[in-house]
Structure 1
Amino acid sequence: MSARRWQRPSWFAIALTLVGIALFVRLGIWQLDRVDEARHLLAAFDAAPKAALEDFAAVRAAPPADRYPHVRVHGRFLADRSWLRDEQIRDGKLGVEVYAAFVAEGSDASNGNDEVLLVDRGWIAWSHERGTQPALPPLAEGEVAVTGVYAPFPGNGIRVGGNALTRQTQWPKLTLAIDAQEIAADLNRPLLPRVLLLDADAASGFVRSWTPSVMPPERHRGYAVQWFAFAVAAIVIFVLLHYKKV
């Protein structure tokens, strides 16, 4: 008849197990902290379009990391400099997100080193039928004032195929990713650190329903549970390896 007896573990096994448990617990706690952070940012994003307008100059170069300023910007659009983010689906319809280059007031249009503001005009449907282009409403000409939420660049996820902008010569240019460095190189001018998401306007011809590039709190919570489960698994494995039948 067999019995189980505790086998003394090596110091290496003890150290490895303790380090693993500490690491997994620390990662779980970090993900729980991200839950609160994501909730705060989502609430701030929802409140941003309703907030009072701020001075763009105060947040232009160094926007606050914990909120999304609602700003009014004076300046002018650069003619024929637009980008279409392809394969954007809204309410089951295929379309594109339209971005334009904007020279804000206080910028020197003749200075090639001056930063440009990328403006998200919104989403518009496009069937992608051969030989067609999306019917884009024209850009405003001359000096204008635009209002919107000053938000981080959208996330792009996993990318394949490299930079599509360098292979195109006609505007607007089609791309799957809005990459700040690639667009800056395309313009041969640097970009400001954030994008302006224009305020909703039924007469604009665009759908403007914004969602922040923030991982949902539920996903952070799920990752936390996984890390804590790894810590428990490390304990279980340690016990099973050293509590053997004799």
Structure 2
Amino acid sequence: MNGFRRPSWWALLLTVAGALLFLRLGVWQLHRADFKESLLRRYAAAETAAPQDFAKVAATPPADSFPRVQVHGRYLADRLYLLDNPKHDERGGVEVFAPFELAGHAPLLLVDLGFLPGSGNGKTPQLPPLPSTPVALHGLYVPPPPTGFEMGGNALARQTHWPKQSIYLAMGQVAADLGRPLYPRVLALDADASSIYAREHTLDLSMPPARHRAYAFQWFAFAVAAVVILLVLHRKRPPRGR
């Protein structure tokens, strides 16, 4: 290394510590990408799995899987909730949720009936009636829709008639609105060609695997940049002539 000056101990220590930190963060992002891909594969495989006993997973669902279950009970058909945050249709629309009562159980199960496309006029789509008699449902037991900051606070508490509409659907707010506890997850019903609802459920990840890999590349680039900066700052300069 005749073309470089010996760096000071603090400059070398700072560069090594920074490069190791960046490399560690990059590897962590790669591990997160692999984990998210594994979740997506398990979610896709669960859609064709045989239904299992809901009682085994109702209160404590596995964190890294999405059981396909079958439940028996009846809808609270006059207590519908509309999630006004459409992602399926450029004309707008709502995701429709209905509380479902299991015989002999106090908690209610929130059922994702599916997406109801809009007509493009800004009005709420016409909701088809739900059966008033006991029914058997089957679908994936999945985490509830993600929530965020809602201007004005709890929109459900300000509405006096159902169906109630909101841009976010927090499970705690729904439980307080119904005056009944809710199971921690939502039942996303299986696709049904005869249903008016669009049921193309996907796992809603805040950050997909591709973005994790992009961040990993960024952290690795920072590690390389730290070493390059050290070399540039300690490169020997030719003596200036008179």
> Which position in structure 1 is the counterpart of 2:77?
79
Conserved 8 A contact 1:9-1:242: no
TM-fit CA distance, 1:198: 0.3
TM-fit CA distance, 1:58: 0.7
Amino acid at match of 1:89: K
SS at match of 1:76: strand
Amino acid at match of 2:179: N
In the aligned structure 1, how far is the partner of 2:3 from the partner of 2:159? Answer: 71
- Pairing 1:10-159 to 2, within 5 Å after superposition: 10-11=9-10, 13-108=11-106, 115-127=107-119, 129=121, 132-156=123-147, 158-159=148-149
Please identify which structure carries the higher strand content: 1
In the aligned structure 2, how far is the partner of 1:20 from the partner of 1:69? Answer: 43
In the aligned structure 2, how far is the partner of 1:88 from the partner of 1:6? Answer: 60
SS at match of 1:193: strand
Q: Compared with structure 1, are the counterparts of its residues 221 and 142 closer, same or farther at alpha carbon in structure 2 (3 Å cutoff)?
A: same
In the alignment, which of 197, 216, 220 is matched to residue 208 of structure 2? 216
Conserved 8 A contact 1:7-1:244: no
SS at match of 2:84: strand
Conserved 8 A contact 2:4-2:231: no
Amino acid at match of 1:183: V
Conserved 8 A contact 1:75-1:105: yes
Structure 2 runs not aligned, ≥5 long: none
Amino acid at match of 2:41: A
> Which position in structure 2 is the counterpart of 1:228?
220
In the aligned structure 2, how far is the partner of 1:21 from the partner of 1:5? Answer: 20
Q: What percentage of residue pairs aligned between the two structures are identical?
A: 50
TM-fit CA distance, 1:128: 6.1
In the aligned structure 1, how far is the partner of 2:51 from the partner of 2:211? Answer: 32
Amino acid at match of 2:187: L
In the aligned structure 2, how far is the partner of 1:14 from the partner of 1:173? Answer: 61
Conserved 8 A contact 1:7-1:243: no
Aligned residues: CA RMSD:
2.2
Q: Compared with structure 1, are the counterparts of its residues 10 and 194 closer, same or farther at alpha carbon in structure 2 (3 Å cutoff)?
A: same
In the aligned structure 2, how far is the partner of 1:45 from the partner of 1:190? Answer: 26
Conserved 8 A contact 2:150-2:168: no
TM-score with structure 2 setting the length = 0.87
Residues matched between the structures, number: 235
